[in-house]
Structures are given as structure tokens and as C-alpha cells.
Structure 1
Amino acid sequence: MTASEVAASEARLSFAPVDPATNPHLRGPFESVVTESDLTGLRVVGEVPAELNGSYVRNGPNPRFAPIGSYTYPVDGDGMVHRIRLVDGAASYSNRFVRTPAIEREEQRGHAIWPGVMSGAVPDPADVEPDLAYVTRDLPDINIVRHAGRILALAESDNPFRLSSNLETLGRELFDGALPAGITAHPKIDPLTGEMFTFCYLLEPPYLTWSSLGPDGSVVRPPTPVAGVDAPCMIHDMALTSTNLVLFLAPLLFDVHAAMSGGSLLSWQPDRGTRVGLVPRDGGPVRWCTDDAFWLWHTANAFDGDADGTGDDRVVVDFVRHDHPGMGLSTAPNTTSLVRTVLDPRSGGMHHSVVDDADIEFPRIDDRSIAGRHDRIAVSTDSGRRTLPIGAADALYWYRPSDGRRKGWISDDLLLGEPAFAARPGDPDPDHGWWMTFATDADATTSQFLVFAASAPDAGPVARVEIPVRVPLGLHGNWLPEEH
């Protein structure tokens, strides 16, 4: 046993259960559910569009047992996938844990074994069998995508877990051994080519790699180091253009030694500034743009050329900009804004234009526009009408970046999740589809699934599917049309 393993084992022994009274992400609308359900014949208020045949699936942190040591939303917690299936106007609901080795071992013991990720500690042979000793917990709790027929529950730069069409866990996905370290929680799929592009950050050199998979799911480009990365940074999301991966390296660094001595696993170091790498999809040299420090959780999209359409070597990217990542890592005030940023690799600089400075997150577009020009962005936001915990929203906004127009819908009694787009089959017009999201009643006992017409989302839902169980607030979801 190494010195770090001994320290981790000794530290783990002192970890106590986290008190939900001290953590808003363990109670109320975020409180875990431990029952797996299958509910059919759900009541619909309004009418589900007949063209919507498929499943909306959403992932999110959902601790199976009371966390020990620490719990940091959104980077902690077991994965639970929630699904609404729509067929010919009828709706059903299912939810399942992503069944990792850690969940199964803890269910055998009846309590949590692994402490919170910020502790940097892992169980030793006194706590678990040898195959799991000194192994970090799998956390496929962030996103869920379908590519090449595979449904993947995604973690932060780690191996995803593959699920069946009925949400049963099939096991860890290693892509035939070609991506052993895993992938990001936010890969991007080019709708024109069917390729999936991804990255993976690492705690040791080369610190950051990128990869691509063909439309058949085969690994076309194996893990390729991104040149010019000198430290282990956390990178949550990326963007894609027709020629580049866009990777944001904010100064959120991993510090394993600090974690082993009782400090934080993550360190915000704003003096380092933020760098954005343009990684050519053809394998060419990486180009960098730099700026003062900022953080982002999520991008909306990116495209090549100036925003005015003149076209040159620049890249335009829309994302939600934060002063810092939160999570207790900075005492400075934190402002949030939806921005359109022009990256200029010739000068190495970038220019930000604020679209809206509201308390915004979860920016989404019609995914058929990924890597190309878009003119619709949906977000969830805090309307400011009441006090909400971080990560909760009571409004949805829809923006047109070309002219600055905004539409919005505010709920008086529901807390809203991330909006996702479903296209009308065979219709390329983004105003002829629908936006959808889960919503949790403010009393946190029941939930709804909301469907908005993209042509007039501010008119409110055209359909509300009533769910007689609670769907906790969570993270990312996608519409998966029925496959034939």
C-alpha cells in the first residue's frame, strides 16, 4: 500500500453522513428517489403531438444512500435515468439507477462506502473486495446520448455505461478497448456526418486528449494529446464547428495532494486566466486564444466565421459564462450571462458580447444545427420572483441571437429542468418542432413533463404529462426518436 492509499484509508474512517439540512441539493426538489418505477397510461392535460413518437431521457445525480464525507452538486451522486415514452399521444414513465459496481456493493452493505468525490479518498480492502479497493466511484450521472444505436450514460471524463432501450444497465462501455480512459459527458455529434467528437481530461500527462467515432460507432481517431496543456484542468463541456473542436481550459485545476491532506480536490486559480483551444478535426496544430479567467459549464453551439457571415479564420461560440465555478471554491461574487464570443486565433484573443445577463444555464439548440449556424437558443433560468437554490429554475427563455429577441415562460408552481428539442419528422424548420422538459412541483411530491410548441413557446405547454411520483431536479437529457 502506498502512502497516499494509507492516508486515504485513514481519512475515510472519519467520514460522517452528510446532513441534508446543511446541503440544499440533498433535500426538497433535489432529494434522491430510491424507488424504480414503471408507470403507464399517464394523464395528459392538453394534447401530445401525434408526430412525437420516441423517448425523452434525462440523467442526473441521485445518491442511492446518504452520502458520507461531502456531497458536491453536480459532480457527486449516483446516476439515475428518467424516461418519458410517447407513442401515438399516450405517455408512460420509467426510471432506473445506472447500476455501477459501487451501487451494487453498497446495496449489499446497506449504506454508502465511497465518500464524496471532493474528499479524494477511496475505500481500502477493509471496506470492499480487492477488485474495488483504491478504486474511485463511477459517476455516470451527468448526461445520456444515443450514437450508433448505443445509449450511453455519461460521466465526467470517464467510461460511460451502456443502457438497453428499457434503461437496463448493460455494463461499462470501453468502445472495443479503443477509449480505455473514457470520454466527456458532453460529446458532440455532427448531424451532417454522423461522427461523434469527444475529449477526456486526465490527472497525469498528457492531461487532455480528443477522439472521434464514426457514424457506425467505431473509433476513427484514437485518444490524441492536445498540445500545449501543462496542468490537469476540469473541462465540463465543449463545442464543435465544421472544422474544429472548441475546448475551454478555465483555471479549475485538480490538486490530488491537497485532497489527500484534507483540502479540496479542485482549486480555482484565476491568475492563470482562461484559454480556448481550437483543435482541427483533421489533426492539424492546435491554436489558442486567451482571456482573463472565466468559467463555463455549458456551451450552446459554435460555428466557423464571423457572426456577420463574412467568413474568415474566426470561430463564434455561444455559451453561459460564469465568473467562477462556484462549488465553494471562491468567495468572490459570481455573475452569469449568456454570451456570444468571437475567437480570433490570428491575434490569440477573444471578444464577448452579452446576449442576456440573467441567471441562466442549460443552453440548448436544435441539435440538427450543431457545428453550423443557429438562430435559436433555449435556456432555463431563475426569474427572480422567489428564492431558489443554485441549480433550480422557474422559467424558460428562448433567444434569437440574430436580432436579440427573447421569449419567455415563467411558472408559478413548478421548478423546471433543461429544455431539449424534438424535431417534427421530415421538417427542417426549427419553429415546427417542440421543446420539452421535466418539471417538479414546488412541494416536491409529484412531477410533470412539459411540451412546448417551438413556434410559440411563450404561450405555455401544449401538453402536460402528469407524473404521480417525484422526478428530482437533475442534469441533461435528450429526445430519442423511435428507431425503425
Structure 2
Amino acid sequence: MTADKPYLTGHYTPAVDEITATDLTVEGTLPPELTGRLIRNSHNPKPGVTPSHWFKGSGMVHGIRLREGRAEWYRNRWVSTPALDGAPYMTDHGPDLTASTAGTHVIEHAGRLLALCEANFPFELTPDLDTVGAFDFNGKLRSAMTAHPKTDPVTGELHFFGSSPFPPYLIYYVADAKGQITHSAEIPAATASLKHDFALTRHYVVFVEGTVTFDPAEHSGIPYSWQDEQPARIGVMPRGKDGAGKIRWFSIEPGNMLHAANAYEDGRGRIVLEGPTVDREGFQLSWNWWVGAPGRGSEPNTRSYTRRWTVDLEAGSVDEQIIDDLAVEFPTLNEDFLGAENRYQYAVSFPDQQGFGGYGIVKYDRTTGARRIHQVGDARLPSEAVYVPAAGATREDDGYLLTVVSDLKQDASQLLVLDASGLDRVATVHLPRRVTGGIHGSWIPDSEPHN
């Protein structure tokens, strides 16, 4: 059953059990400020389960505990949601927002560790990755929640949205630094276009509606497809209680952006947004990979190139261009610069549609235009590179990149700690198993002791 499902083979072969290992072997020297937990999420169906789409696989979180130069533990746990035991998303009473795969992302906000999937409620986890249960912000979350919320580095607020293929198509939320929802608003004129991510600037919320939209005829379990008649556009909404009524939509070229690298307001007041984007061919190649259909690319991110949009609010126009010809996904940055002009961005590189080129961690210098790649080696797939600032950092790239590498030849995985400045390897933590190729994760620094 799995031979024709690329998301169940190779780097993406699911783990079959939950384990805990302690006192992990470290090569090199772990910086002492790396005291906390790296937690990563992945789609990992239970043994004997073959989902119809990569995104339908149940979530499994992988955690690595570092403390003052030591790697104390590794553990992996399925997120125990009703869907893990086969509960359907659609019921006679409509969607069950607790029947989540919870397999896309994991974040911490206001002391809560949340596993996320954009079609459902978040699921709260303990510091040791056991499942607490669905979390709806004390009843104030009235929709699904995006898997890509944004923490404002200035205020500590969590900004996020809920999207749906049915009205209301888009609801925007703000939770304060204590985890209480303080604002929500339906966004007028939104459509059923797929909205996986968004961006935040100091004064605006930026939504992207691409050419992929709701399609009830798509039977993979994820009812979306590329539809040429769906207009692609960017929505720019002022932040604040009355922002929804002032949103402006700007037409852009057809395409689909899954992940925003960052957005900010430049010196002329224009909104600059960047993120990897696919065209029609790239989306179809990726979709065919996600569902195991013929005509797929060698990877799920084929033809995914970084695009920059510059929205001139005064002129009412958008300039857009592809700024790099390297296939990349999973953009990250120093989160202190989220919403502000950043010099450096990071991403994972993938082979092109012919299978040429290798996996690596990419660093972009947006000031000089330079691109540097840390090649991880043959048959080795790195995860999203999570940035952690160094102690006493004074420059934007004074810090480390944490990435978990799946090594098919050794049937093993390592946590690589790279210097974010030059991409040189600082340390390697050997993990007790090969970690399934996954999606997103977070570094959770210690704010109080965890056992």
C-alpha cells in the first residue's frame, strides 16, 4: 500500500512507536545558552494506517532537551486527538474541530505548548509532550486556528487567524501575552482561497489569497485545487480594533504561497512581503507528491522559488519578482525581526524537478544579495532551521540554527547546531532513531526549570 505513497517512504517513513532516551551523545560543544527544548512536528500515521494525503497523517512531536552543554533527552509522542483513533473530521453536525491531525506545527505561548493544524483547534501538550487536550482559549476561539500564528516581538501578543472553505471565510484573532483572546473580527471580502500562512508588520496584517481554493470535487481528503478563475491577491489590513473594515486587496500574479518569510514597512511606507511560491506546474507537481499520484516532482517543494511583493499603498500598486532560482521552503529568521526589516533569512533547499541539487540549509543576505548553503550530505534531509540567539548577541545573525537531519544511509538522525553567521557546524547531537521528515517546530527556551 505504501510503495506509491512517497510521504510514507524514504525520509518520510513513519516512526512505529514512542520512545524516550536520555544522556545523548554530543560531538563538539553545545553552547550553554542552548538550555531548553527543540520540539518538531511531523505527519506520522499509526502502523497499518495509509492516509490518502500527506497532510492527513496523524501528528507526532519529537523533542530534544538541552541543558547547559548537555543533551538530556529525546522523546517522541503522538498527539492524542480523536482523529488518532479514527474519529472523522466531518460529522452529522458539521466539522469536529477536535478531530485534528495536530501534525503541522508546535509553539509555546503564555506557558502553553500547542500542537497545531489549520483545520482544527490547537492541542495542548505537557513539557514532556504528553497530550492534555483540545484548547479553545476558554471558549473564545470560534473557528479553526492557523498553524502559523505570529508572536509580536514587541508586545508579546499572538496574532492568528481561522480560515474555512465556508463563510465566514476568514476570522482574525489577537491573544495577549497572558494567552487571553482580546480581539477577533471577520474579514470582509475574503474568499475560500487556501490561506496557510500570513504576515505581520509593525502596523499591518498581511493576508495572501492564492490561486488554490476550495474544490468539493477533490477527494484526497484535502478539498483544494488550483483553479485559474480564483484571483490571486494580497490583503493589507491596519492593526487595531477597527482594522477589518479598512482592509484593502491588491491583485497579484497567479501562484500559491504556503509560508511567509517575513513582511515589513520600508522607508517609503511600502509593504514588502517575501516567501517561497509555486506556479501552476509547481503546485501540481507538489500536490501529486502529497497524494501519491503520477506526474509528481522528486520532492514536495518542486519549483518553489522565493518571491518578493512590494505593495505601494499610496499608488495602489504591487511590484513582484522572483528573487532567487533555488528551490526552497520552510523560511525562517531571527524572530526578533518579525515584522521589521530583516537582513538575513534562512530556508531549506531541495532538489529541482529533475532531481538535481541537494538538500541544504540556505542563508540569504538581503542587503548584499549573497546566498550561502550548508550542504548536509548525500541522502540527508534537514528540517526547518530554527534560529536561536546567542548570549549577548549584538548582530542579527549572532546565534545558532537548529536542524534535525534524517540520514537514510545510516538509518539515523542528528540534531545539527550551526553557527547562524557562517553556517559552520558547532555541535552534533546523535539521536536514538531516525526522525521522520517533518514540517515545523520551535525552540522553547527555559523560563522555569523542567524535569
The number of aligned residues is 431
1:55 pairs with one of 3, 16, 37:
37
TM-score, scaled relative to structure 1: 0.83
Match runs of 1:282-293 below 5 Å: 282=240, 283-284=242-243, 285-293=246-254
Residue identity in the other structure for 2:10: G
When residues 137 and 263 of structure 1 are mapped into structure 2, their CA distance, relative to the original with a 3 A threshold, is closer
Aligned to 2:214: 254
Alpha-carbon distance between aligned partners in 2 of 1:134 and 1:171, rounded to the nearest angstrom: 14
Residue identity in the other structure for 1:469: R
What is the CA distance between 1:94 and its match in structure 2?
1.0
Alpha-carbon distance between aligned partners in 2 of 1:481 and 1:135, rounded to the nearest angstrom: 30
Aligned to 2:79: 98
Residue identity in the other structure for 1:52: L
When residues 451 and 385 of structure 1 are mapped into structure 2, their CA distance, relative to the original with a 3 A threshold, is farther
- Partner deviation per Cα, 1:194-238 (whole Å, 9 max, x = no partner): 01110111232121111101111110102x111112x32221111
Confirm or deny: 8 A CA contact 2:144 2:163 kept in the other structure. no
1:245 pairs with one of 181, 197, 205:
205
When residues 387 and 354 of structure 1 are mapped into structure 2, their CA distance, relative to the original with a 3 A threshold, is closer
Aligned to 1:417: 383
- Partner deviation per Cα, 1:372-405 (whole Å, 9 max, x = no partner): 11111011002569948xxx96211100111101
Aligned to 1:117: none
What is the CA distance between 1:67 and its match in structure 2?
3.5
Alpha-carbon distance between aligned partners in 2 of 1:209 and 1:236, rounded to the nearest angstrom: 13
Alpha-carbon distance between aligned partners in 2 of 1:417 and 1:431, rounded to the nearest angstrom: 19
What is the CA distance between 1:304 and its match in structure 2?
1.2
TM-score, scaled relative to structure 2: 0.89
Alpha-carbon distance between aligned partners in 2 of 1:374 and 1:482, rounded to the nearest angstrom: 26
Q: Structure 1 residue 395 and structure 2 residue 366: aligned?
A: no
- From the CA coordinates, give the structure whose radius of gyration is larger: 1
Match runs of 1:118-267 below 5 Å: 137-222=99-184, 224-229=185-190, 231-256=191-216, 258-259=217-218, 265-267=223-225
Alpha-carbon distance between aligned partners in 2 of 1:393 and 1:32, rounded to the nearest angstrom: 22
Aligned to 1:408: 373
Residue identity in the other structure for 1:443: K
Match runs of 1:316-395 below 5 Å: 316-324=272-280, 325=283, 326-328=286-288, 335-382=303-350, 387=355, 394-395=359-360
When residues 158 and 347 of structure 1 are mapped into structure 2, their CA distance, relative to the original with a 3 A threshold, is farther
When residues 244 and 135 of structure 1 are mapped into structure 2, their CA distance, relative to the original with a 3 A threshold, is closer
Aligned to 1:271: 229
Alpha-carbon distance between aligned partners in 1 of 2:76 and 2:343, rounded to the nearest angstrom: 34
Residue identity in the other structure for 2:115: A
Residue identity in the other structure for 2:413: S
Aligned to 1:311: 268
Q: Structure 1 residue 472 and structure 2 residue 428: aligned?
A: no
What is the CA distance between 1:295 and its match in structure 2?
0.5
When residues 323 and 83 of structure 1 are mapped into structure 2, their CA distance, relative to the original with a 3 A threshold, is same
Alpha-carbon distance between aligned partners in 1 of 2:108 and 2:95, rounded to the nearest angstrom: 32
When residues 336 and 259 of structure 1 are mapped into structure 2, their CA distance, relative to the original with a 3 A threshold, is closer
Aligned to 1:11: none
TM superposition outliers: structure 1 runs of 4+ over 6 Å: 131-136, 329-334
**Greater displacement, 247-256 / 415-424:** 247-256
Local SS of the residue matching 1:233: coil
What is the CA distance between 1:259 and its match in structure 2?
4.8
Local SS of the residue matching 1:59: strand
Confirm or deny: 8 A CA contact 2:20 2:74 kept in the other structure. yes
1:442 pairs with one of 408, 411, 436:
408
Local SS of the residue matching 1:272: coil
Alpha-carbon distance between aligned partners in 2 of 1:249 and 1:172, rounded to the nearest angstrom: 28
> Per residue, is there more helix in 1 or in 2?
1
Alpha-carbon distance between aligned partners in 2 of 1:233 and 1:376, rounded to the nearest angstrom: 30
- Partner deviation per Cα, 1:150-178 (whole Å, 9 max, x = no partner): 11101114201001111111100100000
Confirm or deny: 8 A CA contact 1:238 1:298 kept in the other structure. yes
Confirm or deny: 8 A CA contact 2:160 2:174 kept in the other structure. yes
> Unpaired runs of 5+ in structure 1?
1-18, 107-112, 115-120, 125-130
Q: CA RMSD in A?
A: 2.7
**Greater displacement, 26-35 / 349-358:** 349-358
What is the CA distance between 1:23 and its match in structure 2?
1.0
Confirm or deny: 8 A CA contact 1:417 1:437 kept in the other structure. yes
Residue identity in the other structure for 2:258: W
Alpha-carbon distance between aligned partners in 1 of 2:98 and 2:446, rounded to the nearest angstrom: 36
Identity %: 31
> Unpaired runs of 5+ in structure 2?
none
What is the CA distance between 1:263 and its match in structure 2?
9.6
